[in-house]
A and B are shown apart, each in its own frame.
Chain A
Amino acid sequence: MEVPARTAQALMGAQSMAQGGGSGCLERNDWICGEYLRTRSQELLDATLQHVGITVVSVVLGLLIAFPLALLARHRRGVAGPVLGLTTVLYTVPSLAMFALLTPVFGVSPSVVVTGLVLYSLTILVRNVLAGLDAVPAEVREAARGMGYGPARLLLEVELPLALPALVAGVRIATVSTVAMTTIGSVVGYGGLGNLIASGMEGFFKAEVLTASVLCVLLALVADLLLLGLQRLLTPWTRARSAGRRTRRGATVAKAVG
């Protein structure tokens, strides 16, 4: 993970050099070109926003579909096998074929890419939601029932919070793979940064390809860190447990209050 960061630094370095020296790195078709960053910043921004948009919509939709599916699979064990089997089969289909098969359904539109990515994310999300809910200790569930919790309240207030780490782990994996796979959407013209990679390839434009690729990896990294942060925020008790000692836990609480 150091490499992209270093490349980004190099990019910035090249930019400042280009500003000072005014060398024609675009004419020389260098891999790293500050002039490219400056003159095409709007194009880069648009592509990045499209990339982020497609990824967010896909993962959110995936989660909205995966959650009821996992609940259904949990309550009717007969459904679990077919649901997991079907999502695994979908996962085996290569993305280029998936987008190609969806094109006649939706026409050339962002729906093709989003639908394909949602189908892929289901495999990871359904598994992780199921694993998370299964990992809730039976005693905890019993205790909550004994305290008079109904099924809905049990799910929302006890099981869901306890399943959250596994759930977020699944969302992180799904998000990172979705960011990478969005690039293939360029076959229908909705691939975010993938569009720039594709046009860079056609025009043999090295700076465009490298910049878009680096941005794509950075995007995946940032998304992963943001989700990790969100998990820490939502499950403060896991942090307290990993901090270990009671004295330190007390200190954390005091700090949080202050």
Chain B
Amino acid sequence: MSVDAITGAWQWLGTAANWAGEKGVWHRLGEHLWLSGICLVLSCLIALPVALWLGHIGKGGALAINISNVGRAVPTFAVLVLLTLSPLGSHGDWPTVIALVLFAVPPLLTNVYLGIREADRDVVEAARGMGMSGPQLLRRVEIPLAYPLIMTGLRSAAVQVVATATLAALAGGGGLGRIITAGFGNYDTAQVVAGAVLVAVLALLVEGVLVVVDRAFDPMRGRRRGPSGKTPAPAPAPAGARPEPSRST
């Protein structure tokens, strides 16, 4: 990388004027986090109940797996532009919100479904034998056992949302991506690189925070791999059943 680009980007980031105002970093970061947060919550509200229910009754597996493959094949950029040109385009942030939710739901659905399905059948049967009802079973046995995959789903969805929110700038939306596209528009390499660094750092921070949250809230913390632990570790998934990282942005 040319040294000019690095020093240029550093100078751009060090200029207070670039952080303030309507087009400044703080405002764009606010837009980015606000949109990402709202859409992640919306996606969880849609995907979690469906996936937990499908996993619990053990049906709809083909749907849960295939939706991920479809999500991968459809370009996010195309969906963003199609929604912007549709009648929805005149309703502010709606095209972006819909696109973000559309691409966050598949990883959530697939991972949570697989997590519940792969919860150790013997443990689930034993719990049923102890007289647990369906909701009890789901809450006390299946969800704790599925926890690692549920968190994987949440992490992929969050990373996907942050990436898609960046692309929203290509279709005229807000967010940090706007700094990059504006830089490309002005042939301002320093601004392009500075914007890219900000986006990359944000994505890595989100991933990092979720890894910490994952460890902190693990319902079986310290018990999962204990040599004399009473709860057996979830059986390793058969090859091919493990969901792949899913991204199309």
Contacts and interface: CB of A to CB of B under 8 A. Distances in A.
B148 to A, nearest CB: 16
A201 interface: yes
A54 interface: no
A112 B199 CA distance: 18
Interface stretch (A33-41, A213-221, A243-251): A213-221
Contacts of B73: 176, 179-180, 217, 220-221, 224
Report which residue of A94, A206, A209, A210 has the largest number of chain B beta carbons within 10 angstroms of its beta carbon.
A94
B77 A197 contact: yes
Which of under 10, 10 to 19, 20 to 34, or 35 or more describes the interface residues of B? Answer: 35 or more
A96 B180 CA distance: 8
Contacts of A221: 73
Nearest to A101: B196
B171 interface: yes
Nearest to B70: A1
B15 interface: no
A198 B85 CA distance: 12
Report which residue of B72, B171, B177, B203 has the largest number of chain A beta carbons within 10 angstroms of its beta carbon.
B72
B192 A103 contact: yes
Given A123-B245, A181-B249, A216 B75 contact: yes
Contacts of B2: 104-105
A58 interface: no
B180 to A, nearest CB: 5
A184 B80 CA distance: 12
Contact of B200 (A101, A166, A217): A101
Given A94-B249, A166-B240, A181-B249, A206 B166 contact: no
A194 B77 contact: yes
Interface stretch (A72-80, A85-93, A140-148, A151-159): A85-93
Contact of A180 (B76, B162, B169): B76
A181 B193 contact: no
Contacts, number: 157
B137 interface: no
B78 A92 contact: no
Given A124-B245, A166-B239, A194 B72 contact: no
A7 to B, nearest CB: 11
B204 interface: yes
Contact of B244 (A98, A173, A180, A206): A173
B59 to A, nearest CB: 20
A256 interface: no
24 contacts: A94-B166, A94-B167, A97-B166, A97-B197, A98-B200, A100-B183, A101-B196, A104-B193, A131-B239, A135-B239, A166-B240, A176-B73, A177-B72, A177-B247, A180-B75, A183-B77, A184-B77, A186-B170, A187-B170, A197-B77, A209-B81, A212-B78, A217-B74, A220-B73
